[in-house]
Amino acid sequence: MPVIKPKVSTYVSLSLILLILISGLVYILRDFAYKGSFGIWFYLTACTLITLVVLMLLVKMLAGFRFITAARDQIIVKLPLRGYSKSYPISQILAWEEEIVIANKKEFRQVTIAFTDKQSISVSNHEHDAYKDLVAYLVKKAGRQRVKGKQ
């Protein structure tokens, strides 16, 4: 029974980056309030860019926080931050595809599963645990729904 969950190391590293960005934003705002070392355009541009990057990282972290369980001829998708939980029987899988990209001598894999209710989920090997177990489960249980892609 593969349980696919986010890797702790991914969330730790993204949290550290967020902490550094927020510290930089606080430093820039503090410098503007007390010293005003730079022109107003620098502060406006820097604060806007840092805020946008922080928001994009937060959205990525929150959207990717999900748990997927594959067992007993069904796939259970849980999104704890939304309070969403749904169970899909294997028969409700329309198609699934595994994409493989090689960049910088590393292999990045992502599987996308589309369901009959027009929902889909994506799982990657760098952001989730038990990725290989999920792919093996899909090959075994839903091999006919697999979409052959470029590899």
Average pLDDT by consecutive 10-residue portion of the chain (151 residues)?
A: 89 96 97 93 97 96 90 91 92 94 91 94 91 92 84 52
Where are the chain's structural domains? 7-63, 67-145
- Residues in contact with 32: Cβ distance below 8 Å, sequence separation at least 6, in sequence order: 38, 43
Question: What is the 8-class DSSP label of residue 128?
Answer: B
The CATH architecture of the domain made up of 67-145 is Roll (2.30)
**pLDDT of res. 64:** 83
pTM: 0.79
Q: If you search the block for the tokens 């890797």, which residue do you land on?
A: 7
**pLDDT of res. 136:** 93
**pLDDT of res. 112:** 94
C-alpha torsion 86→89→95→101, nearest 10: 60
Question: What is the 8-class DSSP label of residue 92?
Answer: G
**pLDDT of res. 149:** 67
Q: How far, in Å, are 29, 92, 97 from residue 147 at the CA level? A: 50, 15, 5
| Residue 110 near residue 96, CB atoms below 8 Å | no
End-to-end CA distance of the chain: 27
Cα–Cα distance, 53 to 93 (Å, whole number):
35
**pLDDT of res. 41:** 96
